[in-house]
C-alpha cells in the first residue's frame, strides 16, 4: 500500500479522470462499431429467439416463430440506437471491471490484490452467465408463452418491435446484474459479515424476495413467467450459500 500512501488526493482524482476517460472511449468505440453491424446484431442475435430455427426450439422440438411489426415512425432508428448502447455496455463490462481494478489496486496489500482480482474476474463471469441464461433460456420461454397465449381465438397476437426489444433488454440486463449476487455474498463472507448458517436460516425469506423480484422483472406478472424467472434466482441463492464460509 506504499504507492497509495505517496499519492495525494489530486493524484487519485487524476487517476480517476483517466480511468473514466478510457472507459468512455472504449464504450464509444465499441458502440460505433456495433452500429455499423446492424444486420448481424439484429438478424443473428437480437431477433434470433423470434425465429423457428433458434437452437432452443430445435432442441425442445418446438415449432415456434413470430412476426414483428413497427407502429411508430422513428421507432426502428431509436431501437437501433438503444440496442447498440445496451450491446456495447454488455461487451465492455469486463473492461470497466478492469479499470475499477486498476484504480483500487494501488491501495491494496499484495494478499488483498489477489483476492480482489479473483472477485472481479468472478463478477465478470457471473454477469455473462446471467446474460446467457436470460438470452438462451428465459427470454425464449417467455416469448413462446406470450405468443401462444390468447384470451380469445378472435384476438390474434401481433407484437410490436418496441415491446419485443423492451422485454429482451430488461430480461437480459436484469439477469446479468442479478447474477452478481454471489459476488456480493463472497465479499461479505470474507469480511465476516455473512456466514453460511445465516444465509441458510433465511431461506424462507429468500423465497419471498425471489418471488417479489420475479414479479418486478417480468412486465406481465403472469405465473408462468414468474416461475421461469424464480427458479434460476433461487438456485443462485443456493449457490451463494455453497460459496459462503461457515
- What is the residue-wise DSSP string for 48-65? GGGSTT-HHHHHHT----
Average model confidence (pLDDT) across the chain: 84
Cα 94 from Cα 114, distance rounded (Å): 17
State the average pLDDT over residues 112-124.
Answer: 77
- Whether residue 245 has pLDDT greater than 70: no
- Whether residue 9 has pLDDT greater than 70: no
- Whether residue 238 has pLDDT greater than 70: yes
Distances (CA, A) of 222 to 3, 16, 65, 67, 190: 55, 44, 21, 22, 38
User: How would you classify residue 195: left for phi > 0, otherwise alpha for psi between -120 and 50, otherwise beta?
Assistant: beta
pTM: 0.78
**pLDDT at position 1:** 46
- At 218, the pLDDT band (50, 70, 90 cuts) reads low
Share of the chain above pLDDT 70, in %: 91
State the average pLDDT over residues 104-123.
Answer: 76
User: How would you classify residue 155: left for phi > 0, otherwise alpha for psi between -120 and 50, otherwise beta?
Assistant: beta
DSSP-derived 3-state class of residue 69: strand
The per-residue pLDDT for range 25-67, each reduced to its tens digit, is 999 999 999 999 999 999 999 999 998 889 888 887 878 878 8
Amino acid at each position: 500500500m506504499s504507492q497509495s500512501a505517496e499519492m495525494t488526493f489530486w493524484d487519485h482524482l487524476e487517476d480517476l479522470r483517466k480511468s473514466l476517460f478510457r472507459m468512455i472511449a472504449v464504450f464509444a468505440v465499441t458502440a460505433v462499431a456495433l452500429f455499423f453491424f446492424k444486420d448481424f446484431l439484429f438478424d443473428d442475435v437480437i431477433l434470433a429467439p423470434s425465429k423457428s430455427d433458434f437452437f432452443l426450439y430445435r432442441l425442445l422440438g418446438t415449432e415456434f416463430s413470430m412476426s414483428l411489426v413497427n407502429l411508430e415512425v422513428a421507432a426502428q432508428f431509436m431501437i437501433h440506437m438503444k440496442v447498440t448502447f445496451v450491446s456495447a455496455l454488455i461487451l465492455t463490462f469486463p473492461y470497466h471491471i478492469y479499470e475499477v481494478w486498476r484504480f483500487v489496486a494501488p491501495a491494496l496489500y499484495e494478499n488483498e490484490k489477489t483476492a480482489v482480482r479473483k472477485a472481479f474476474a468472478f463478477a465478470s463471469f457471473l454477469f455473462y452467465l446471467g446474460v446467457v441464461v436470460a438470452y438462451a433460456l428465459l427470454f425464449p420461454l417467455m416469448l413462446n408463452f406470450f405468443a401462444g397465449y390468447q384470451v380469445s381465438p378472435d384476438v390474434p397476437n401481433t407484437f410490436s418491435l418496441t415491446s419485443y426489444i423492451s422485454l429482451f433488454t430488461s430480461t437480459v440486463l436484469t439477469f446479468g446484474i442479478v447474477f452478481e449476487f454471489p459476488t456480493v455474498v463472497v465479499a461479505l463472507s470474507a469480511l465476516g459479515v455473512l456466514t453460511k448458517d445465516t444465509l441458510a436460516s433465511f431461506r424462507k425469506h429468500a423465497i419471498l424476495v425471489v418471488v417479489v423480484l420475479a414479479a418486478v422483472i417480468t412486465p406481465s406478472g403472469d405465473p408462468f413467467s414468474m416461475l421461469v424467472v424464480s427458479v434460476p434466482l433461487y438456485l443462485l441463492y443456493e449457490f451463494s450459500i455453497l460459496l459462503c464460509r461457515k
